[in-house]
Amino acid sequence: MKLYEYLAKGIFRAEGIPLPKGGIAQTPEEALIIARDIGFPIAIKSQVLTGGRGKAGGIAFANNENEVTNESTRILGSMLKGFKVEKVLVEEKLTIDKEYYVSITADSFLKKPIILASSQGGVDIEDVSEEYIVKKVVDIDIGVYAYLGREIARKLGMQGDLMNEFSSLVIKMYNLFRKYDAELVEINPLVRSGDKLIALDARFNVDDDALYRHPNLPRLTEGEEWELKAKALGLSYVQLDGDIAVMANGAGITMATLDLLAIFGGRPANFLDAGGGAAVEPMAKALSLLNDTKPKVIFINIFGGITRCDDVARAILKVKKTTDFCAPLVIRLTGTREEEAITVLQENNLSAYKSMEEAARKAVALAKPASGLEGVGKCQY
Amino acid sequence: MKLYEYLAKGIFRAEGIPLPKGGIAQTPEEALIIARDIGFPIAIKSQVLTGGRGKAGGIAFANNENEVTNESTRILGSMLKGFKVEKVLVEEKLTIDKEYYVSITADSFLKKPIILASSQGGVDIEDVSEEYIVKKVVDIDIGVYAYLGREIARKLGMQGDLMNEFSSLVIKMYNLFRKYDAELVEINPLVRSGDKLIALDARFNVDDDALYRHPNLPRLTEGEEWELKAKALGLSYVQLDGDIAVMANGAGITMATLDLLAIFGGRPANFLDAGGGAAVEPMAKALSLLNDTKPKVIFINIFGGITRCDDVARAILKVKKTTDFCAPLVIRLTGTREEEAITVLQENNLSAYKSMEEAARKAVALAKPASGLEGVGKCQY
Amino acid sequence: MSILINKNTRVVVQGITGKQGSFHTKEMMNYGTNIVAGVTPGRGGMEVEGIPVFDTVAEAIEKQQADASVIFVPAPLAKEAAFEAIGAGIKVLVIVTEHIPFHDALQIVDYSVKKNVVQIGPNSFGICSAGQAKIGIPPNSIFTPGPVGVVSRSGTLTYEIVSNLSLRGVGQTTCLGLGGDSVVGLSFVDILRLFEKDNETRAVVLIGEIGGRQEEEASIYIKSMTKPVVGYIAGKSAPPGKRMGHAGAIIERGAGGFKSKVESLKQAGVKVAEIPSQVADYVADLLKR
Amino acid sequence: MSILINKNTRVVVQGITGKQGSFHTKEMMNYGTNIVAGVTPGRGGMEVEGIPVFDTVAEAIEKQQADASVIFVPAPLAKEAAFEAIGAGIKVLVIVTEHIPFHDALQIVDYSVKKNVVQIGPNSFGICSAGQAKIGIPPNSIFTPGPVGVVSRSGTLTYEIVSNLSLRGVGQTTCLGLGGDSVVGLSFVDILRLFEKDNETRAVVLIGEIGGRQEEEASIYIKSMTKPVVGYIAGKSAPPGKRMGHAGAIIERGAGGFKSKVESLKQAGVKVAEIPSQVADYVADLLKR
């Protein structure tokens, strides 16, 4: 779960990480009150869960009250990279002498927390060349002490008080990383303004699997429509930009299914993992959701292991009874209780493929405009 | 530092360890008020920092108000194994169905925390045979979880709810062990009373070297007179029952000096380690303290390494100038600046041995009543 | 032959009294796995499928000489269960449980390394030494004994590919799921080393996916291997920044992409299949030589 | 020959700018120790006795290839200093500092074991490979190169005995102080193993004291040694329950007594001296044979 910048900064502030003065506004009037309190110049930053806000025009500066009103009026309520801006963070605009980058995350190969830092701050870390990136692995049963921070600071070219300030900052970031089960604690840029280090931006992502341990953290309510609906159903769903809706059982095989469709020239509409061993009810819900997204084709790819193929067949029929499928179904079933499933489907004038490839080819063909099959489904586009 | 039972129990209570109802009293009147509040029968336990209180008559029971007054009057102010009883702990007297032992300490060979438990509670753990003792080593970076407590409980013959209760108790004890830098957290006996486990007694020793981290813990004010005085001077001192006062530099050589005196038939009066590399001033203070204990002989054994022999000589003279030594001095000096030291001593009509053994023999001879040398010193006994 | 487990491996099931635990205990026993004990705190003395249940893993080891364990306990209790198994002296630990916070996994992995425990998962289907023993949840029917080692980050995709192998008459030594989480006990390299050393294993199938860099790290090792490796990487069409079902399957901050993995493997001499069914073709070809 | 350190060992002094640190840096250099760096946070760029001072141990390793470290920093900061040295890759760590809380020592030892660091102390006089290098605080004058390994729990008593050895013409390979605290990095057994393997060491002196059970554990190992061991145990006249200066020197709860140690050693074939000066006599006798 990603937190908005202002929420991340709230958590940073509680830990004692130095931040620009600022406040959150939902209206231009509120923005003005905060700006008056801070004094000019100020920055107005749209609060959306996406990167590259600056380039997209989501960050503005103001030198006087008129500019605050104009810019906050422009930004609030506007759409930024597909997200509506509901709030802006109004902050003092600092004099920036130097920009750094620092983050803490887990390295999945080393299986340890890792601190990344760079003296090339203010740009995405993936655009910084390796030689400018300082990496320090953390022993999780030891944690982060001042020496680790000093060592990173040294490699960033810091000395004396700045070294100590950086060191204390890293300790605080690591405390937050551990305390909140964070996936990512990032400050980019971390700026030196005079003799102070200040976190100009803040990213804070929390492990979804650990949210139950953090009842006081706010819950994400922003995202793609179908992703939020799927999430509410407890499904693992990712919106894509194609027209073939996909449901499979297992993350790997679902990805492989999307890849197969793409290789055959098709355009998958989503990733939907019905999970291993899913029962009739949840599978029926997943299918209904797919149907609601109004795709051109619905492709169901099931390798029955713990999942029983006859349960899948029953889930399909359950949905069919209550809703009309708005698009042709392509079903691939193999494995546990395959024969029972085929029988059930045939009784209801449905059929299934045994081979994943054959089925995928069929789904792609059905979705092709040139196939002469468009409009086979009953949905309106 | 050892804590009184009632202080240990205060810490236990804050951690949620189940205890008998009770309160602390400094007068028979207070004891009576507490007893009335609890109801009869009650136990009256003298608060002194020594074991074996029961056998020494320091624990009494009372079935009515008269008995409370009589027993608390008898105990309060009495001497118990050399300690004056200033306070009594008045507690409900529980029905005891079974007594257990459980403690947490550090194993100096394994270099890890260790939990010891036994179903033979109520006696000193050193008197319990190995087969009845359950030992569990703790990984310090993992700590204690319920399974470790369940595993000990199982070996103690506990099941079901009792197992879980024990397990939760051990977790709490370990929390205290870590939180307070404890040397020893001990419950003996831990009693089963009906279906409850209750800590009937409590021992809690804290690492002196870590006391600076625990400003809220009370400080020990009970102990042998000279030990307290030495402690105030920052000296490592142990009172013994002989007549030859000893000062050496280093714990090992001080022990070896005591042993040597004993082997030669002498009786050391104390252990006093002046430390490696001690300067004139602290050494003079140490010597004054020894002089104040009025021994028959004062034996100074210095191997000069970082400690300079001439500093030792100067410390001796410094004391000599302000106070008369009440007993003959036997001085052994060797090592760094040995010659300078001898010169300084000779100028003041003092001499020194080079050999530790020779010097020790001399000290023993001087202390022997048969030596005809008693009364050589100027002190009154 | 096989790696890590065989028919003599003595397995304890942690969480045996749960729905998943009891179902898969029966399935594992059906496969021939030597399940010797179950553990559920407070249920000591019970039996599940004829298997004695104990309150602690230590008791299961003491009374039944268990040397491997599989964890089916719910995610919030999984860390403690893993610590218990590791601390008690279990040598091979399979964690099937999904949705364990990865901060817990960081600690579990750390403790496993410290205590020299082979820790598989979390979120792993487990391990099966074909014809001998299965610890975990894959369907029994798909495996056939033979000369191919399989190691993977996903479940059903692996069943699909192993099933293809078996249908073509290409049997397996051991099939192992590393787990789909971002932090798991083993990486491809660890298992490739074991297959390289295993006398019976003649070829290896590596089933990777987007996210992380363990396929890239594996490629470095593969260059020194004497045995052929066939690979498949899922996630070619996955967009960056999105978690594809598995917590570990995400392209983020410029790393974990499909292309880098496939290219590394190819450079290391791995024959990389474009679609799942090609894997069995490639392996069958290799074994014919 | 020697164990653990020699004239090529590259030593960093943590806390070099303190009174103890700078004094002993000079003394170690006088002995011939290859001191290559000092570390005091915030003092990077300084020099002490001509030795460059850095802000971190990692920098000292990077710039001066230090492989051993000695800690003189005050007790409240010693844990962090030790973690720094261990984490940075130091191979031999000597902690001279006294009065470190033993809970800190438990963590330091744990981390040292995890990272394969030879950790000596806390509260140790250090280690001296006679004629080559000294890391720690014993007086330089007492050592003579020769065939005897010395290992001890105390400082001055060891100087006394080593001095006796040298005066009798019996030189030493390496003398090492385990440290007087209740929790220290190494035990007698660890060092006895090294002396047993060291070609130049022909006999070993073990100087123990009351408290703990490491002399008893050492006795078990000594039975398998080919080299003769001479022992001395301090604390014969110490009363139970009293800490004799060293935090580790206490007879408590029925354990750590003098008699058990002496008897174990004697049973293992150790010649146990009753008074310190006998040690040199016994060793000289043994070497004559």
Q: What angle do CA B103, B108, B110 make, to 5 degrees?
A: 90
**Could you tell me if D152 and D70 lie in one domain?**
no
Q: Which burial class, exposed, middle or buried, applies to B245 when counting CB atoms under 10 A from its CB (0-12, 13-18, 19+)?
A: buried
Q: What is the pLDDT of residues B233-249, one digit of tens each?
A: 888 899 999 999 999 99
Q: Three-class SS of residue A24?
A: strand
Q: What torsion, rounded to 10 degrees, do the Cα atoms C36, C42, C45, C49 define?
A: -50
* Structural domain span for residue B104: 98-213
| Partner residue facing D111 (CB), from A142, A159, A164 | A142
Q: Give catalytic residue positions of C.
A: 246
**Could you tell me if A46 and A106 lie in one domain?**
no
pLDDT category, B380, cuts 50, 70, 90?
very low
Q: What is the pLDDT of residues A233-271, one digit of tens each?
A: 888 899 999 999 999 999 999 999 999 999 999 999 999
| Partner residue facing B147 (CB), from C44, C80, C111 | C80
Answer yes or no: is D2 within a domain.
Answer: no
Q: Which of A72, A92, A112 is the last residue of a domain?
A: A92
> Do the Cβ atoms of D36 and D73 come closer than 8 Å?
no
- Position B372 scores a pLDDT of 54
The pLDDT mean for chain A works out to: 91
Answer yes or no: do C41 and B145 touch at CB < 8 A. no
Q: What is the largest CA-CA distance in chain A?
A: 80
* Structural domain span for residue C68: 10-120
Q: How far apart are CA B295 and CA B239, in angstroms?
A: 12
**Could you tell me if A240 and A200 lie in one domain?**
no
Nearest alpha carbon to residue C98 among C59, C124, C120: C124
Answer yes or no: do C56 and B139 touch at CB < 8 A. no
**Could you tell me if B238 and B135 lie in one domain?**
no
Q: How far apart are CA D53 and CA D20, in angstroms?
A: 15
Residue B227 structure tokens:
């030990």
What's the structural domain count of chain B?
Answer: 3
Q: Which of B66, B92, B118 is the last residue of a domain?
A: B92
> Do the Cβ atoms of B215 and B259 come closer than 8 Å?
no
| Partner residue facing B253 (CB), from D156, D247, D249 | D156
CATH code of residue D281: 3.40.50.261
Residue D8 structure tokens:
């090529």
**Could you tell me if B114 and B76 lie in one domain?**
no
Q: Which burial class, exposed, middle or buried, applies to B221 when counting CB atoms under 10 A from its CB (0-12, 13-18, 19+)?
A: exposed
Answer yes or no: is B8 within a domain.
Answer: no
**Could you tell me if D255 and D163 lie in one domain?**
yes
Answer yes or no: is D164 within a domain.
Answer: yes
**Could you tell me if B316 and B362 lie in one domain?**
yes
**Could you tell me if B205 and B234 lie in one domain?**
no
Neighbours of chain A (3+ CB pairs under 8 A): C, D
CATH code of residue C39: 3.40.50.720
A361 marked as binding residue: no
Cα of D119 vs its chain's centroid, Å: 9
Q: What is the pLDDT of residues A58-111, one digit of tens each?
A: 999 999 999 999 999 999 999 988 889 999 999 999 999 999 999 999 999 999
| Pairing relationship of beta strands B112-118 and B133-137 according to DSSP bridges | antiparallel
Cα of C166 vs its chain's centroid, Å: 18
**Could you tell me if C165 and C276 lie in one domain?**
yes
Q: Which burial class, exposed, middle or buried, applies to B10 when counting CB atoms under 10 A from its CB (0-12, 13-18, 19+)?
A: middle
Nearest alpha carbon to residue C172 among C198, C217, C204, C139: C204
Q: In this prediction, does ipTM exceed 0.95?
A: no
CATH code of residue A104: 3.30.470.20
Q: Which of D67, D87, D120 is the last residue of a domain?
A: D120
Query: How far apart, in Å, are the Cα atoms of C170 and each of C162, C222, D125?
Result: 9, 22, 66
**Could you tell me if D143 and D221 lie in one domain?**
yes
CATH code of residue A333: 3.40.50.261
The length of chain C, given as a count of residues: 289
Chain A neighbors of D42, CB-CB under 8 A: 160, 163-164
Mutate to test the interface with A, among C86, C96, C103 (most CBs of A within 10 A): C103
**Could you tell me if C45 and C115 lie in one domain?**
yes
- Position B82 scores a pLDDT of 82
Please indicate if any CB of chain C lies within 8 Å of the CB of A137. Answer: no
Cis peptide before A20 (omega within 30 of 0): no
| Partner residue facing C58 (CB), from B141, B146, B151 | B151
The length of chain A, given as a count of residues: 381
Q: What torsion, rounded to 10 degrees, do the Cα atoms D166, D172, D176, D177 define?
A: -20
Answer yes or no: is B56 within a domain.
Answer: yes
Could you please report the per-residue DSSP string of A309-377? Answer: HHHHHHHHHHHHHHS--SS-EEEEEEETTHHHHHHHHHHTT---BS-HHHHHHHHHHHH-GGGT-TT-S
Phi first, then psi, for residue C248 (nearest 5°) are -85, -10
Chain B neighbors of D185, CB-CB under 8 A: 111
- What is the sign, positive or negative, of the torsion defined by CA atoms of D59, D62, D64, D67? positive
**Could you tell me if D199 and D97 lie in one domain?**
no
Nearest alpha carbon to residue B250 among D255, D177, D281, D239: D177
What's the structural domain count of chain D?
Answer: 2
pLDDT at B282 over 90: no
Q: What is the pLDDT of residues A192-228, one digit of tens each?
A: 999 999 999 999 999 999 999 999 998 876 677 888 8
Answer yes or no: is A5 within a domain.
Answer: no
- Position B381 scores a pLDDT of 40
Long-range contacts of B337-344 (CB under 8 A, 24+ apart): B337/B304, B337/B308, B337/B309, B337/B310, B337/B311, B338/B304, B338/B309, B340/B309, B340/B310, B340/B313, B341/B304, B341/B308, B341/B309, B341/B310, B341/B312, B341/B313, B342/B313, B344/B310, B344/B313, B344/B314, B344/B317
**Could you tell me if B287 and B188 lie in one domain?**
no
What letters, b where the CB count within 10 A reaches 16 and e where it falls short, cover A347-370? Answer: eeeeebbeebbebbbbbbbbbbee
Positions of chain D with pLDDT under 50: none
Whether B186 is catalytic: yes
Q: What is the pLDDT of residues A117-172, one digit of tens each?
A: 999 998 888 889 889 999 999 999 999 999 999 999 999 999 999 999 999 999 99
- Position B370 scores a pLDDT of 59
Q: How far apart are CA B168 and CA D21, in angstroms?
A: 46
Q: How far apart are CA A144 and CA A342, in angstroms?
A: 58
Nearest alpha carbon to residue C127 among C64, C50, C194, C74: C194
Where do we find the tokens 């090294």? D194
Neighbours of chain D (3+ CB pairs under 8 A): A, B
How many Cβ atoms are within 10 Å of A69's Cβ, its own excluded? 16
The residues with which B84 forms a beta bridge, in sequence order, are B79
Answer yes or no: do A154 and D87 touch at CB < 8 A. no
Q: Three-class SS of residue B354?
A: coil
Answer yes or no: is B220 within a domain.
Answer: no
Q: What is the pLDDT of residues B329-373, one digit of tens each?
A: 999 999 888 999 999 999 999 999 999 999 999 999 999 875 555
**Could you tell me if B163 and B230 lie in one domain?**
no
Q: Which of D52, D86, D120 is the last residue of a domain?
A: D120
Residues of C with CB under 8 A from a CB of B: 41-42, 44, 55-59, 80-81, 83-84, 87-88, 110-111, 114
Answer yes or no: is D101 within a domain.
Answer: yes
Residue D263 structure tokens:
């008897």
Q: Which burial class, exposed, middle or buried, applies to A322 when counting CB atoms under 10 A from its CB (0-12, 13-18, 19+)?
A: exposed
With CA atoms as reference, the chain D residue closest to A160 would be D42
Query: How far apart, in Å, are the Cα atoms of C136 and each of C95, C191, C225?
Result: 8, 17, 28
pLDDT category, B54, cuts 50, 70, 90?
confident
Answer yes or no: is C5 within a domain.
Answer: no
**Could you tell me if D179 and D231 lie in one domain?**
yes
**Could you tell me if D49 and D151 lie in one domain?**
no
Answer yes or no: is B297 within a domain.
Answer: yes
Answer yes or no: is D76 within a domain.
Answer: yes
The whole-number average pLDDT for the span A262-286 is 88
Q: How far apart are CA C265 and CA C216, in angstroms?
A: 7
Nearest alpha carbon to residue C180 among A252, A113, A182, A210: A252
pLDDT category, A232, cuts 50, 70, 90?
confident
Q: How far apart are CA B218 and CA C94, in angstroms?
A: 49
Q: Which burial class, exposed, middle or buried, applies to B74 when counting CB atoms under 10 A from its CB (0-12, 13-18, 19+)?
A: middle
DSSP alpha helix (H) spans, B47-194 = 65-75, 146-155, 160-179
**Could you tell me if B243 and B191 lie in one domain?**
no
Answer yes or no: is B15 within a domain.
Answer: no
Q: What is the 3-state secondary structure (H, E, C) of A81-149?
A: CCEECCCEEEEECCCCCEEEEEEEEEECCCCEEEEEEECCCCCCHHHCCHHHEEEEECCCCCCCCHHHH
pLDDT at A375 over 50: no
Mutate to test the interface with A, among C24, C31, C156 (most CBs of A within 10 A): C156
- What is the sign, positive or negative, of the torsion defined by CA atoms of A180, A186, A191, A195? positive
CATH code of residue B67: 3.30.1490.20
pLDDT tens per residue across all 289 residues of chain C:
699 999 999 999 999 999 999 999 999 999 999 999 999 999 999 999 999 999 999 999 999 999 999 999 999 999 999 999 999 999 999 999 999 999 999 999 999 999 999 999 999 999 999 999 999 999 999 999 999 999 999 999 999 999 999 999 999 999 999 999 999 999 999 999 999 999 999 999 999 999 999 999 999 999 999 999 999 999 999 999 899 999 899 988 888 999 999 999 999 999 999 999 999 999 999 998 7
Answer yes or no: is C183 within a domain.
Answer: yes
pLDDT at A372 over 70: no
**Could you tell me if A250 and A276 lie in one domain?**
yes
Query: How far apart, in Å, are the Cα atoms of A107 and each of A1, A135, D206?
Result: 18, 11, 46
> Do the Cβ atoms of C130 and C172 come closer than 8 Å?
yes
- Position D132 scores a pLDDT of 97
Of A183, A186, A338, A353, the catalytic one is A186
Answer yes or no: is A189 within a domain.
Answer: yes
**Could you tell me if D142 and D283 lie in one domain?**
yes
**Could you tell me if A293 and A365 lie in one domain?**
yes
| Pairing relationship of beta strands D68-71 and D10-14 according to DSSP bridges | parallel
Chain D neighbors of B109, CB-CB under 8 A: 187, 212-214, 217
Check residue B98 and give left, alpha or beta (phi > 0: left; psi -120 to 50: alpha): beta
**Could you tell me if A241 and A355 lie in one domain?**
yes
The one-letter code for the residue type at C90 is I
| Partner residue facing A209 (CB), from C99, C153, C185 | C99
Answer yes or no: is D15 within a domain.
Answer: yes
Nearest alpha carbon to residue C101 among B358, B277, A180, B204: A180
Please indicate if any CB of chain C lies within 8 Å of the CB of B145. Answer: yes
Q: Which of D120, D154, D180 is the last residue of a domain?
A: D120
- Position A325 scores a pLDDT of 83
Whether A101 is catalytic: yes
**Could you tell me if D116 and D148 lie in one domain?**
no
Q: How far apart are CA D289 and CA D282, in angstroms?
A: 11
- Position B345 scores a pLDDT of 93
**Could you tell me if D277 and D145 lie in one domain?**
yes
Answer yes or no: is B282 within a domain.
Answer: yes
- Position B126 scores a pLDDT of 84
